[in-house]
Chains A and B, each alone.
Chain A
């Protein structure tokens, strides 16, 4: 290390450090303000989640009230048909039997697909709404 490098390091080490001329108070005020803003934001987020959850619960309740019985009946019927088609498949030509089974299965699954997609859409929408409320 040259003499100049040593002088430079010493000068950095001995450099004047500014006195507190109100800097600490300014930072403290800004920190207090930022904490208050954070608390308000958290309260707003919690409120949003509560309102969103209540709305979703009410929606599910209304949906079940309107379509619940029909949905359960249709689902039960589909399950019974699937079970029946699988257990009472014709014995004989193996290839033809397998194709018939698959065709029946596809038909019966297709009947319940609308309800399944509807339910999946509700769940996905709810998840997106929840995620949106939790983002900063």
Chain B
């Protein structure tokens, strides 16, 4: 009995631990997520009450003495008939109520006409491309796996995919929406409070589906605009000789064929934009924290760290690896 209680306690501790933190639908910080959370809680409460009532009736029925009877009197039969009718009616009312509640809660989700900022999200195997388009092409920029948004405004997220179906899911801010090759889906997100909200691909998309995380960093308008201005700028040239050597190496090796670094001749488009890769918190879609060591580890052997991803190993000497990682780190 004691062991059983310990197991129950352990399991519920784990389950409850999943309910807070950066990625949880119960840690709702956006209007859509709050509505969904209320819906979840409402349905769970109603269903729990119904379940408890059914169990109470069942236990009472089991405990009742089994008295042999010839046949129920017509009066008690009528009473039982009324009881069953009432139970059926209650079931219909409850299910209809839940259906209507669900319809009204999800009807307006993810649709807003007064979004002030539009961000294009392209799902790729297995990373997220975020394109901040501007009417002035010089002000457009893109980043990967880390999206900054201002708090308290509706953000229009335009979802596209370049290979297979992915699904954009930031549980604290909104529900899921699929990214489908060849068409554009739209979802509106809104963060009420500053913070880092983790999201994840929610549609199985291949070998590294589990390593396809994204971070939505919500900050106040001034901080967001500072960030956007910094992202719009071309890459900085570091004075550090190691980073300078790394830059020359980046252009000479195949890196530049797939990656763009604005302000240099590197303009490949199949891999993530690395113009400000040093300013991101993680690399490889949330796989590793962004440190110089993890950058070097990633460049040295991407296939062992994330098997199946689309970055080949490039032959580099240890000096070259050091120079390249210094250059990557300098791209703040």
Chain A bound to chain B: no
Interface residues, chain A, CB within 8 Å of chain B? Answer: none
